[in-house]
Structure 1
């Protein structure tokens, strides 16, 4: 089974047709609900990775506050590497959120449509209530993710500005100028991490709601 899933995933990652991908995955017993769970877990992991990269970038920049001489080019290279890693991590968060939105549309549309297939009124009402509760939990989770995603922008902007400034001004004066940016960046990163932790907490609540029997 895992081998078949890998094959299907490889094929439809190349074609980019999500509806065909979902249909193919269902053929091997992997339903939209399962895909949703995996993608939410992936998003949680990507946010944790972003936190680590932002913190690592902050630590690299903090070395400027204690700079007392040395090779500024080496320092620039380290800071630039951390910025690039942070940018990739942030993009991964955005990609994961987009993937969740895609499968949620398909999952909820299917769920809504299948309500008409019930012959039992009580079961239909129960399923419809579960759908509404799951959608509500999803919206709360997605809003938290979007807030966290938005708070990454100030961090990336400051990292980019500092990296570019240091690149073109490899001297002690540049270091002095960037030292004043450190406190602002530290605050932005702390706030972004707080929002990501909130999004992760909402993700856990959503998964619990989705998995309720």
Structure 2
């Protein structure tokens, strides 16, 4: 029953997407343009995530360098930064999924339309363009998914830190978190670097689509 419910939900989502694409095409807004827009939105979400992870790291550094004041206030900010980072990561994943959804719809439509050609030369040229576009898209999506995957260890470590501090808000706990800081710093640097690569791949893909 659970599997059946999931299949019904997926079928409904696909139907909604198809209805959306059809409605947009009626006003002259085609899948190709929707794809470019969604890639740009995915880029923006990655840039926001880069800034958010950096902010969370800086706040944790402030905590590890704590030198007087209200520890509770500092912890509250660390916790808030973790929640914001988690939300930013979720947005990145959602945007990538939206990109992949319209891309698959575009490629399916493109493939189907190849059979409508009367001209063999034009058909061959369009087929080659489809193949090239798929390859460029695959490279971009791979970079996006790799950056997405690298967010998980960062979020896990941020969560570990805020959970530990929640129940051990003292100088000893801060020292323990401080020992983990260099590893977190490297993980944040890695995810920011990979997101920059994904954004660069997106720029190349967008340029090829215009």
Aligned pair count? 197
* Displacement after TM superposition at 1:65 (Å): 2.6
Aligned counterpart, 1:56: 55
* Displacement after TM superposition at 1:116 (Å): 1.1
* Displacement after TM superposition at 1:64 (Å): 2.1
1:41 aligns with 2:40: yes
* Displacement after TM superposition at 1:150 (Å): 0.4
Q: C-alpha distance in 2, partners of 1:126/1:21?
A: 29
SS in 1 for 2:118: coil
Q: C-alpha distance in 1, partners of 2:189/2:65?
A: 21
Equivalence map 1:183-202=2 (5 Å): 183-202=182-201
Equivalence map 1:16-95=2 (5 Å): 16=13, 17-95=16-94
Aligned counterpart, 2:157: 158
Q: C-alpha distance in 2, partners of 1:129/1:100?
A: 22
Q: C-alpha distance in 2, partners of 1:207/1:34?
A: 10
Q: Please, which runs of 5 or more residues in structure 1 have no aligned partner?
A: 1-14
Task: State which drifts further: 64-73 or 180-189.
Answer: 64-73
Q: C-alpha distance in 2, partners of 1:177/1:66?
A: 12
Q: C-alpha distance in 2, partners of 1:85/1:139?
A: 29
TM-score (norm 2): 0.91
Q: C-alpha distance in 1, partners of 2:88/2:197?
A: 18
Equivalence map 1:172-187=2 (5 Å): 172-187=171-186
Q: C-alpha distance in 1, partners of 2:147/2:90?
A: 12
TM-score (norm 1): 0.90
Task: State which drifts further: 69-78 or 148-157.
Answer: 69-78
Q: C-alpha distance in 1, partners of 2:43/2:118?
A: 38
Aligned counterpart, 2:141: 142
Aligned counterpart, 1:11: none
1:113 aligns with 2:103: no
SS in 2 for 1:181: helix
SS in 2 for 1:156: helix
Aligned counterpart, 2:126: 127
